Structure 1
Amino acid sequence: MRFLIIILLLTSICSCTEQWSCNETYAIEQFKLKNSTGLFLNYSSNPYQNQDPAYIQDVKKNLLQNNTYCGLRYTDSTKTNYELKTFESLVSLLENQFNVTHKGKCGVCSTTQDLVVYLEKDLTQPVRWCGLRYFYSKKQNIQCLLDLGFTYPCAQIWYYNTINTRKQCGGICFLSYIFNQPFVVDGHLNKCLQCDEDKSGPIFKYESGRTRRDSGIDSEIERPSDTIYNMDHCYY
């Protein structure tokens, strides 16, 4: 019987379409009321400067893995408080009565508060604006990200991602911005976005946990449909 239930749950997750099985607006309002019982610590240093070989190896391993899931489980009868946990398989996640909140391991942006930001806003332009407007101020840049609704650790990793991309891809991205290049050119990311994905993406994904694609959320940047995990967020 338990095996049958798991199969049914797997089917319900994997066969969902772009149309949510619940009211999206209502779900977002409900997620705003949730509280994580395991808060992520604020960063004390820039993870992009971490040269520990074991850390670098973990980042590379995470980039190659495609079988981990971040699960959410409520810890009270009112479904107000929840815990997050990474699972090595979807079957294991379901057996432990967790809900999938995104594909990949849990990280600092895996909270429902950050999920709400991902669902309500297309972040490409707002995050870029924070980085451009507060180019010389870490404090103001992070505050700009906090004003979007992020938790503090999630705002930090977005900031560190911006700083690393500026360092690694500054010239390319300046030209892209000046000439107002579209995000996708002939089916490929423009050089700025590709540089960001190559140079900053692995550590960002490792630290943030949640990304739009792994959460089944479309963005202003057109992506192949097979790179966007097919799910909705009706587990409120």
Structure 2
Amino acid sequence: MKKDTPYKVSLLAYVRSHLLLLLVALVVSVVLGDPSYQEQFSFVSHRLLQTTINNSNGLAGFRTCDGCFCIVENEGEMCPIDPPFTNFTSIIPTLRNLTLSNPIGPDAACNPYTNETCALTPSQNLGGGACVVEMQEPLTDFSSCPESWSYHLRTFSGTFEEATQQRLFVTHNGSCGACSSLQDLAVYMEQGANLREASSRCGALGLIDADRAIQCFEGIGFSTECATIWYFNTEKTAEACILLCAPFVLSGNSPNGDPPTCPLAPCIDCDETQAGPIFRAFAGRTRRNSGLLSDIIRPCDQVVRVEQVDPCARATLAPSMAPATTPPSSSIRWGFPVRGAICTAVLLSLH
């Protein structure tokens, strides 16, 4: 007999334990025909499924806003029921073993926060819709991927949706930059919710010596190009937001306020407005545009749906066969998808 997956087992156990409550709520809402009861049933059933899926996807180590991995900003919408995955241990070694053939970054001596003439080398179309990975087989031997394999980064000039429709190997939304390498992606995946704390330590070293700060970021695992723009970012934050961020760091407070809006803490908001735009333009990759979570809860429409897969497995597929990378999913309202999920779960629990 085929065994149930851990996700299916946890979902069935959770639905079974609350089956009577769900059925009673459904009968009452239908019989009475009261929209308020129907709305409450919609909310309760959605939250039950959301909690189960959050647990199965390993979101326990990440902050949530009222139980959701992102901030639901639009009235009447619900938390997306398909949160990003957070366990990438199986592909991180592959990401680190591949060689980038065209590193992208600003000149180490040119700080884009203080010099408007700074540019990425090689130059990138800053209005690009997606950063695309193009795998390159070794020319001198027949080693299996990832040994001796390399890859090239290319900014796709069309939209993100067009890139996904063409089944291109999209690694993040927007143009490529200094942090677009798969090596830097591995750092974002591995550090997870701990990256803000680790980067703060490296940024503090920058108050003493810039080289030590960059070496610290490299010690986390970042490429030299990405480590450099991270240092410039922390330097700008320290300059513009020191009065807000010094007490915030010492207090150890959450980067987000209370639900339901979960606003950014003043320090994080200052960094977002003062240092964020240039960082995003030069770094290329951020966690949210790569489909990854961080310890800072972001609005749902900022967490892009990007399917991060094993590059070697992806390299063996023809473009028409490759798994699609999907754009941000809209928040799910009480309609057929949620009703279908509830009904399916109930039917499964009866077998």
Structures share fold, TM-score greater than 0.5: yes
Distance 1:134 1:164, change over 3 A: closer
Q: How does 1:1-236 map to 2 (within 5 A)?
A: 17-18=82-83, 24-41=88-105, 42-52=107-117, 68-76=129-137, 78=145, 80-87=149-156, 88-90=158-160, 93=163, 98-121=168-191, 122-186=194-258, 187-236=262-311
Distance 1:181 1:89, change over 3 A: same
Q: Return the offset for 1:96.
A: 7.0
Q: Return the offset for 1:231.
A: 2.0
- For 1:167 and 1:139, the matched residues in 2 are separated by 18
Larger Cα-atom Rg: 2
Q: Return the offset for 1:177.
A: 2.1
1:12 alignment partner in structure 2: none
SS of residue in 1 equivalent to 2:131: strand
Q: Return the offset for 1:91.
A: 5.8
Q: Return the offset for 1:131.
A: 1.6
**Letter of the aligned partner of 2:116 in structure 1?**
Q
CA contact (8 A) 1:17 1:230 kept: no
Q: Return the offset for 1:36.
A: 0.9
- For 2:211 and 2:114, the matched residues in 1 are separated by 19
Task: Tell me the TM-score normalized by structure 2.
Answer: 0.55
Q: Return the offset for 1:31.
A: 1.0
SS of residue in 1 equivalent to 2:155: strand
Q: What RMSD over aligned residues (CA atoms) do the two structures have, in Å? A: 2.6
- In the alignment of these two chains, the number of paired residues is 211
SS of residue in 1 equivalent to 2:285: coil
SS of residue in 2 equivalent to 1:181: coil
**Letter of the aligned partner of 2:99 in structure 1?**
N
Further displaced range: 74-83 or 124-133: 74-83
Structure 2: which 5+ residue stretches go unaligned? 1-79, 120-124, 139-144, 312-351
Distance 1:190 1:95, change over 3 A: closer
Q: Return the offset for 1:25.
A: 1.9
Distance 1:223 1:131, change over 3 A: same
Greater relative contact order structure (CA < 8 Å, 6+ sep): 1
Task: Tell me the TM-score normalized by structure 1.
Answer: 0.80
2:62 alignment partner in structure 1: none
- For 1:213 and 1:19, the matched residues in 2 are separated by 10
Distance 1:27 1:37, change over 3 A: same
Q: Return the offset for 1:176.
A: 1.6
CA contact (8 A) 2:206 2:231 kept: no
Identical counterparts, % of pairs: 31
**Letter of the aligned partner of 2:187 in structure 1?**
V
- For 1:98 and 1:235, the matched residues in 2 are separated by 14
